[in-house]
Amino acid sequence: MSVTPETPIIPKVKRDAILNVLSKGFHIDKRPLYSYRNIEIVKNVAPNADSSVLVKLGHTQVLAGIKLEIGQPFPDNPDEGVLIVNAEYVPAASPSFEPGPPDENAIELARVIDRSLREPRVVALDKLAIIPGKKVWVIWLDIYILDHDGNLVDASMIGAMLALAQLKLPRIDVDPNTGEIKIDKSQRETPLPLNRYVATVTVYKIEDILLIDPTAEEEAMATASITMAITEEGNIGGIQKRGLGYFEEKEFDRIVEISLSKGKELIELIKQYTK
């Protein structure tokens, strides 16, 4: 059952202060409404992973990691590799996160990231078959929220994209007689084949004000948000509205405009870090 979450109580003075600066076009931390906080990337934080990236978006911290396996393809796509995305809200990240299996928020996050990668065909899964129909690369992309200070989707997507872009496939040897596959993880040459880069831009609504990248405090005041996955080519590769509120029909031109321009910015940033 999906249950209305409890809205955090924000003292009225704080609320008024936030609304006051927002109405003047700024976040509570003095950035303009349509700018991201400082983004810091730390690569290879978990050397045992096949690829790992820590993303710091302001005080939000997200850790994305990949484990590669050789497995069976899905029966409906026998010649393609497999990508599986999972997300977990670690209880260390916020007093409101509880231990236990992923809840609806974590599942939704994982599915939004998954769709934003799958539909624009970010990973060239068709190039990941080892023995078509039998053995393919399986990419387990796991996202852990380590510290929650708002805008988890965009931070997670940056992490997911960078973890994929950095991934190098290990050398494999296929025994022609037995069909047995040996992986040599000490030798990595081929980068994971990617078709394009994608970033998500989440536009939040507080009263009538649209903004991006809120802090947790601001996010708690937002009535709704809309995440758009933007591709390198400037197309929309996925959308998800979340929250108890709504968007007006006439707000969409602005939302698309913000998402396209900020998405482009994020993709450029992601590309810089992959160099």
- Grouping H, G, I as helix, E, B as strand and the rest as coil, residue 152 is helix
Query: Rounded to the nearest whole angstrom, what is the least distance from the CB of residue 40 to another protein in the complex?
Result: 30
Binding mask 200-239 for another protein (x = CB under 8 A): ------------------------x-x----x--xxxxxx
For the chain, the straight-line distance linking the first and the last C-alpha, in angstroms and rounded, comes to: 45
Query: Shortest distance, CB of residue 161 to another protein, whole angstroms?
Result: 16
Closer CB to another protein, 40 or 246, in the complex: 246
**What is the spatial distance between Cα 155 and Cα 36, in angstroms, rounded to a whole number?**
10
Is residue 92 within 8 A of residue 190, CB to CB? The reply is no
Q: In whole angstroms, give the CA distance from residue 177 to residue 157.
A: 42
For 220, the enclosing helix (H) or strand (E) is: helix 216-221
Backbone angles phi, psi at 53, to 5 degrees: -145, 135
Footprint of another protein on 60-89 (CB under 8 A): 75-79
Task: Give the residue, chosen from 243, 264, 265, 273, that forms a contact with another protein under the rule CB under 8 A.
Answer: 243
Among left, alpha and beta (phi > 0; psi -120 to 50; other), residue 174 is: beta
66/53 Cα distance (integer angstroms)? 9
**If binding is defined by CB under 8 A, does position 107 make contact with another protein?**
yes
Give the one residue of 97, 245, 264, 271 binding another protein; rule: CB under 8 A. Answer: 245
The residue among 26 and 247 lying less far from another protein, judged by its C-beta, is 247
- The residue from 108, 124, 168, 265 that contacts another protein (CB under 8 A) is 108
4 binds another protein (CB under 8 A): yes
Site for another protein, rule CB under 8 A: 1-4, 6, 75-79, 104, 107-108, 110-111, 115, 119-120, 224, 226, 231, 234-250, 252-253, 256, 260
